[in-house]
Amino acid sequence: MGTQENGAGGTIRGEAGPDARAKDRPRPVMDRDTLAELHRLHAAALLRALLRLTSGDRGRAEDMLQETFLRAWQNPQALTRGPEHGRPWLFTVARRIAIDHFRALSARAKELGDETPEDRAAADDPYEEIVTAHAVGDALAELPRHQREVLVELHLNDRSTADAAEVLGIPPGTVKSRNFYAVRALRPVLERHGLAPA
């Protein structure tokens, strides 16, 4: 610890040296034009996704949208490739904000004694599962119907290729082919929704 004069005849206690000065420097923020371009390119898609997550509660969705862009403004280093490439990062941030929001609502409800047996028996993090399910649903909706149907039957309904073929009324070879192309088409869509596949 060291002391420094504050210029008004007093002293400031704190760490002396370059680290102390780095803490006092203002944090870099995104310039206004870049933030405006980021908003223009991505706000509508983010708001639609947040409206779905909040069951149409426009006030909450807009609050989450504002928080998402505030974090973008505060973290310009996260968007070094430019505003046009910011959608995956923004969707990830919005998703995390929504999860935090739902957790806070749940905590408040528990404080008030509104917990139900279903709440106690829920999964480790049901809010993340809900938000992820909405994001996956949004991503699937962007695929052509024939690809979406195959993905739903094989991966969500956990059917075998033969069973999916029977349900869809197409040959098993067609199911395999559509699944291959659907998975390939889904990867960039998931990235845009902040769900990069493993």
Say what the pLDDT of residue 10 is. 37
Query: Is the distance from CB of 169 to CB of 146 less than 8 angstroms?
Result: no
Say what the pLDDT of residue 197 is. 57
Say what the pLDDT of residue 30 is. 84
In the chain, CATH 1.10.10.10 covers 142-198
Longest dimension (CA), the chain: 86
Give the range among 35-44, 140-149, 156-165, 189-198 with minimum mean pLDDT.
189-198
Say what the pLDDT of residue 80 is. 82
Residue 131 CA: distances (Å) to CA of 49, 89, 90, 103, 152: 10, 16, 14, 12, 18
What are the backbone dihedrals phi and psi of residue 158, each rounded to the nearest 5 degrees, phi first?
55, 45
Say what the pLDDT of residue 110 is. 59
Angle at 128 between CA 126 and CA 130, to 5 degrees: 70
> From start to end of the chain, where are the E strands?
2-5, 11-14
- Tell me the HSE value of 85 on the side-chain side, using a 13 A CA sphere: 7
For 92-140, write each residue's pLDDT tens digit.
899 888 888 888 776 665 555 544 544 544 445 666 777 777 777 777 8
Q: Which residue has the tokens 């420094």?
A: 4
For 44-98, write each residue's pLDDT tens digit.
999 998 988 888 889 999 999 999 999 999 888 888 888 888 888 998 899 888 8
Say what the pLDDT of residue 79 is. 83
Say what the pLDDT of residue 24 is. 60
For 10-53, write each residue's pLDDT tens digit.
333 444 445 545 556 666 788 889 889 999 999 999 999 898 88
Query: Is the distance from CB of 194 to CB of 99 less than 8 angstroms?
Result: no
In CATH, what is the architecture of 142-198? Answer: Orthogonal Bundle (1.10)
Distance CA 37, CA 2 (A): 44
Per the model's pLDDT, the better-predicted residue between 144 and 19 turns out to be 144
Say what the pLDDT of residue 65 is. 93
Say what the pLDDT of residue 124 is. 58
